[in-house]
Structure 1
Amino acid sequence: MRIVFIITGLSTGGAEMMLLKVLERLDRQRFAPHVISLTTLGELAPRIAALGIPVDAIGMKSGLPSPSGFFRLVQLLKRLNPDVVHTWMYHADLLGGLAARLAGVSAVGWCIRNSNLDKDKTKFSTRAVVSLCASMSKWVPSRILSCSEKARQVHVRYGYAAEKMVVVPNGFDLTRFKPDGHARSMIRTELGIEVDTPLVGLIGRFDPQKNHAGFFEAAGTLHRRMPQVHFVLAGQDIDMSNAALMQAITQEGVLSNTHLLGLRNDIPALMAALDVLASSSYGEAFPNVLGEAMACGVPCVVTDVGDSAYIVGDTGRVVASSDMTGLAAALEELLVLPPSEKAALGERARARVAAHFEIGKVVQQYEDFYETVLAHIR
């Protein structure tokens, strides 16, 4: 089966990394993949190409689709003549779905990876694209894959075709993300802190949905109760040149206890070094960082957004969205657990990932999805 994957871009992000994981494990005896980025190749393109998978970039500017770029996409799809087109993220769903139809491809699958469409958290242009997709969902895609149950519910309320929706969670490689005592000491040496220093992490790009300001509100509260705790953050634009981030840090008085690492390529080691992972987000669908931390035996404290509570289950703590006082209290609760109880919690977290979100099982669900898309052409 020839499958063309169309995604908005190939920079490092949750959706992009999940696409890479699917491509790494897709049964190449059954499926012949080809990837198209609507914008640029980004840092993930070489990793995809190294798998022997062709990658093309249309060259559209982010947030500004062009008629000429859309025409190039249609022509490329005509030349590739795929059996199935699978689009990832809203702009790719809209433009890739239409281009596939114009190119004569009837088997189209969409992919939804967001669960918060609130007006004050989501750009107007994004909500406009979602509205267009909702109206087109009745006839463009054969099936729509949502990475979380909450995202499915949100989009059905927005007008998406409920009968076409399928939920497939994100998946995690337990051979790559695993407990690692060496990483714990190595990362602490890099940060210049003692090996027994409590370390709370927030891993993710700087984005309004991630609520970094709220995280530091919680960090400030926790710091006043447990001044020995340090905070480590990594992701795009997570560095000292970010004025808004630095203001939040200094305002809460935690500058000397905070480490901003920017983009990293050693996330498994960074996750394994943590005592607790925090997620302060206003909106998520299925945050990869939770499964990655849990696979490393690290418990998580999360806001109740998207499928976060379901992912964590009874292996961490869940607080209401925007409740940063509650987030601080839950972080403290886990940090002061006796070592044996904390270790048991971490073991349960890893076991939950193995049972529900192991990457091999998840990729099999993606493969079943493609078979279904092809079988239900309308």
Structure 2
Amino acid sequence: MSTQLDSTQLDRTLDGPQASGVRAVPEPFNRVLPEGEGRLVMHVFPSFAVGGAQVRFAALANRFRSRWRHVVVSLDGNAGCAARIGPKVPFALLDPPRGGGGPLGNLWRIQALLRRLRPDVLVTGNWGSIDWAIAAHAVPGLRHLHIEDGFGPEEAHTQFRRRVLARRVALRGSTVVLPSLTLLRLARDVWRLDPARLRYVPNGLDLNRFRPDGPTAPFNLPPINPALDGPIIGTVAALRPEKALDRLLRAGALLARRRLGFRLVLVGDGPDRARLEALAAELGIAAQTTFAGHQPDPAAAYRAFDIFALSSATEQMPFSVLEAMATGLPVVATDVGDVAAMLAPENLPFVTPLEDAAYADALARLVEDAGRGRVVGAANRTRAVLDFSEETMFQTYAALIEGTRPDTA
């Protein structure tokens, strides 16, 4: 039920009179945009590559299927997460409008597209889609949700004043969804958005899919030298600068110097892969490091791990930590975003400053004490079951999209 079109094609399909307050959609429109009677929800992602926000959207769309019709704009043209949208979801990909005229020309084209498409709800995400949030103000009656999941490395520790002011203007009057308490405080105290329009919606996940007792196939590690065998320290992450996987590799090198046996597995792909592979070789740990690439079932990968590692320089409420918790893994993590608030109390001694030595020490303690790791992992699983239900998250987002109260039944 999915299709892809560019905005020029859309202009041709939508030419025609529009009665005031009534969507008058010419017949060709129904052949290129999602069919059905549900609300038309337009989502704008800086990228629709596989990532936390994109996976959350895919899970939401799959949960409610034909309840809504979805149009997704991927501003960088990457649509990798489209493969996660089920066949029963009315769904289309739309290329963003392009042309000259600088920022003002871009805003004009976005406004024109929104007026032609007339979505019931516009959902934007993060700084990269802020132009669409600004353009939404020029479309009377358009409901706008903005979901802020976090920042790139350039804003990991300092908010740019220009962006603060832009968010303050662009998001005025919008409902702003924050999945972390850190972001909630930032939106209220720094961006100075209306607290009545802020919604804290913690991420949730499928606790049945991510569980300790499922299969590890189709995730298979390549053969490794038995002399280097030991617990598997794994991570699941896009190989991008903000994930600071250099820190994980340097920590691995420190463990190797202590002559501790371990295997390091990085699941995921991205622009930093070649550089990280070269760094592993330079550090002398290439033999015990596996770059597993993208995996079709990350749940199987988690179950192959003994320890989960998050080395990021910036996060808010990372799905990977929730997935590791649900799988019953101990987590060694940098103290970023809401990570310390998410984990079970038993895991807190393994949340470290952004320092290689402290991070390596935390890994070493779990490498050397598998029993403690199992106790910590069991506590994390309990915490995930009690506090991070996917269905609660789904019902909250459904209410935000439809402007109703969540269905808690």
Change (3 A) 1:343 1:319: closer
Residue 52 (structure 1) aligns with: 89
The corresponding residue for 2:398 is 367
Preserved CA contact (<8 Å) 1:148 1:285: yes
Give the secondary-structure state (helix, strand or coil) at the position aligned to 2:80: coil
Amino acid of the structure 2 residue aligned with 1:252:
L
Retained in 2: the 8 A contact 1:133–1:160?
no
- Cross-structure match for 2:139: 103
Q: What code does the residue aligned with 2:365 have?
A: E
Letter of the 1:38 counterpart: L
**Higher RCO (CA < 8 A, seq sep 6+):** 1
What is the CA-CA distance between 1:230 and the residue it aligns to? 0.9
Q: 1:207 aligns with which of 240, 245, 267?
A: 240
What displacement does 1:306 show? 0.4
Alignment-derived partner of residue 137 in structure 1: 171
- The counterpart of 1:37, out of the listed 74, 93, 114, is 74
Kindly indicate whether residue 180 of structure 2 is the aligned counterpart of residue 148 of structure 1: yes
Q: How far, CA to CA, are the matches of 1:191 and 1:292 in structure 2?
A: 26
| Residue in 1 that maps onto 2:60 | 22
For 1:138, the aligned partner's letter is: R
1:281–1:8 Cα change, 3 Å = same
TM-score, scaled relative to structure 2: 0.78
Instruction: Answer whether contact 1:148 1:168 (CA < 8 A) is retained.
Output: yes
Relative to structure 2, which stretch is displaced further, 153-162 or 200-209?
153-162
**1:350 equivalenced with 2:387 (yes/no):** no
The count of corresponding residues between Structure 1 and Structure 2 is 362
For residue 257 of structure 1, report the CA deviation from its aligned partner.
Answer: 0.9
Tell whether the 8 Å contact from 1:187 to 1:269 is kept in structure 2 after alignment.
no
CA-based RMSD: 3.1
Amino acid at match of 1:282: A
| Contact 2:252-2:360 at 8 Å conserved across structures | yes
3-state DSSP class of the match of 2:146? strand
Larger Rg, first or second structure (1 or 2):
2
* 1:205 alignment partner, SS class: coil
Q: Say whether the 8 Å CA contact 2:65–2:90 is kept in structure 1.
A: no
Distance 1:321 1:100 in 2: 40
Q: Which residue of 2 is the match for residue 233 of structure 1?
A: 266
1:322 to 354, 357, 382: 354
| Distance in 1 separating the partners of 2:218 and 2:184 | 41
2:42 corresponds in structure 1 to 4
- TM-score, reference length from structure 1: 0.84
Question: Is the counterpart of residue 283 in structure 1 residue 321 in structure 2?
Answer: no
Contact 2:148/2:178, CA 8 A, preserved across alignment? yes
Of 16-25 and 37-46, deviating more is 37-46
Deviation at 1:145, TM superposition (A): 0.2
Q: For the residues of structure 1 that align with 2:102 and 2:159, how far apart are their CA atoms?
A: 16
Structure 1 residues 185 and 264: alpha-carbon distance in aligned structure 2, compared to 1, 3 A threshold? closer
Q: Determine what percentage of the aligned residue pairs are the same residue.
A: 24
- Match for residue 176 of structure 1? 209
- Equivalent pair of 1:295/1:350 in contact (CA under 8 Å): yes
In the TM superposition, residue 300 of structure 1 has moved relative to its aligned partner by: 0.6
Aligned partners of 1:270 and 1:238: how far apart in 2?
Answer: 21
Give distance in 1, aligned partners of 2:404 and 2:238.
32
Q: Secondary structure at the match of 2:220?
A: helix
8 Å CA contact 2:231–2:262 kept in 1: the answer is yes
1:121/1:208 contact within 8 Å kept: no
Deviation at 1:236, TM superposition (A): 2.2
In the alignment, structure 1 residue 252 sits paired with structure 2 residue 283:
yes
5+ residue gaps, structure 2: 1-38
Structure 1 unaligned spans of 5+: none
- Matching residue of 2:344: 313
211-220 or 98-107, larger mean C-alpha shift: 98-107
Deviations 1:161-197 (A, max 9, x none): 0412211111211222111474189634x34466973
User: After superposition, what is the alpha-carbon deviation per residue over 1:118-174, rounded to whole angstroms, capped at 9, x for unaligned?
Assistant: 6577897xx7445412332224x1x10011111222333432404122111112112
Aligned amino acid, residue 345 of structure 1: V
Which range moves more in the overlay, 107-116 or 144-153? 107-116
The farther-off stretch of 295-304 and 110-119 is 110-119
Q: In structure 1, how many angstroms separate the alpha carbons of the residues matched to 2:308 and 2:398?
A: 31
